[in-house]
Amino acid sequence: MRVRTVLNADEISRAITRIAHEILESNKGAGDLTILGIPTRGVPLAQRLTAKIADIEPGVDPAQICGSLDITMYRDDLRHGKLRAPEPTHIPPGGIDGRAVVLVDDVLFSGRTIRAALDAIADIGRPAAVRLAVLVDRGHRSLPIRADHVGKNLPTALDERVFVGLEEIDGEDTVTISWPETAEAEGDQA
């Protein structure tokens, strides 16, 4: 496997700051905003995003707008693969009815996670709008889903692997892309 770093800690931080501004701009302030991270790595990203928003907009209480949304029970592949243990879902005290919900995830790939998240949201309540913020969009969508706020667009091949490391979980902020040795060798010959 060959590995290349795509984003370092500073670049991740700058991307989150920019997304925070974008969200506030498109939402016209922080009113009725709810930020829901999708476990595992979407949750710390959502917390950082909320902290940034609270820095920019005075009077925002992170505990009131930031939460997590587990999508395990809504996956379309529960019958296949191994048994999955659900992660905690935490909806902020005000609920999500009539609010602008921003879903936060680390990597947008096939879009199946987001489809599951939309189903989960529909069962919990009826938000006024749902938007999607991701740190990395690596393409290869298999569903008609797009992100509203993207940290970095990363064109990839299907056999490449994108990894987002976050300090809260992995001890280090980094985004890397890795690909099999053989593909590289063929590339060299061409």
Partner 1 sequence: MKHLLSTADLSREDAIGLLDVAEEMTQVSTHSVKKLPVLRGHTVVNLFFEDSTRTRISFEAAAKRLSADVINFSAKGSSVSKGESLQDTAQTLGAMGADAVVVRHNGSGTPYRLATTGWIDAGVVNAGDGTHEHPTQALLDSFTLRRTLTGSPASGPGGHARGTDLAGTTVAVVGDILHSRVARSNVHLLTTLGARVVLIAPPTLLPWGVETWPAEVFYDFDEALDAHDFDAVMMLRVQFERMHQSFFPNTREYSRLWGLTAGRYARLPEHTAIMHPGPMNRGFEICAQAADSPRAVILNQVENGVAVRMAVLYSLLTGKEGAL
In the bound complex, what is the minimum distance in angstroms from residue 79's beta carbon to partner 1? 6
Q: Classify residue 97 by its DSSP letter.
A: T
31: CB partners within 8 A, 6+ apart: none
Residue 105's DSSP bridge partners are 134
Asked if 125 interacts with partner 1 (CB under 8 A), we say yes
Asked if 123 interacts with partner 1 (CB under 8 A), we say yes
Asked if 17 interacts with partner 1 (CB under 8 A), we say no
Helix, coil or strand: residue 24: helix
Count the site residues for partner 1 by CB under 8 A. Answer: 23
Distance CA(76)–CA(100), nearest Å, equals 26
Cα Rg for the chain, rounded, in angstroms? 17
Give residue 100's region: left, alpha or beta (phi > 0; psi -120 to 50).
Answer: beta
DSSP codes of every residue in 41-58: THHHHHHHHHHHHHHHST
Contact 151/19 with Cβ under 8 angstroms?
A: yes
In the bound complex, what is the minimum distance in angstroms from residue 123's beta carbon to partner 1? 4
In the bound complex, what is the minimum distance in angstroms from residue 89's beta carbon to partner 1? 6
48: CB partners within 8 A, 6+ apart: 16
Region of 102-110, 120-128, 133-141, 167-175 interacting with partner 1 (CB under 8 A): 120-128
Region of 26-34, 58-66, 124-132, 166-174 interacting with partner 1 (CB under 8 A): 124-132
Q: Compare residues 14 and 84 and give the one whose CB is closer to partner 1.
A: 84
Q: Compare residues 85 and 185 and give the one whose CB is closer to partner 1.
A: 85
Asked if 91 interacts with partner 1 (CB under 8 A), we say yes
Contact 163/175 with Cβ under 8 angstroms?
A: yes
- Please select the residue that binds partner 1; options are 17, 27, 89, 176, rule is CB under 8 A: 89
Asked if 70 interacts with partner 1 (CB under 8 A), we say yes
Q: Compare residues 22 and 87 and give the one whose CB is closer to partner 1.
A: 87
Asked if 118 interacts with partner 1 (CB under 8 A), we say no
Task: Give contact residues for partner 1 (rule: CB under 8 A).
Answer: 70, 73-74, 78-89, 91, 97, 119, 122-126
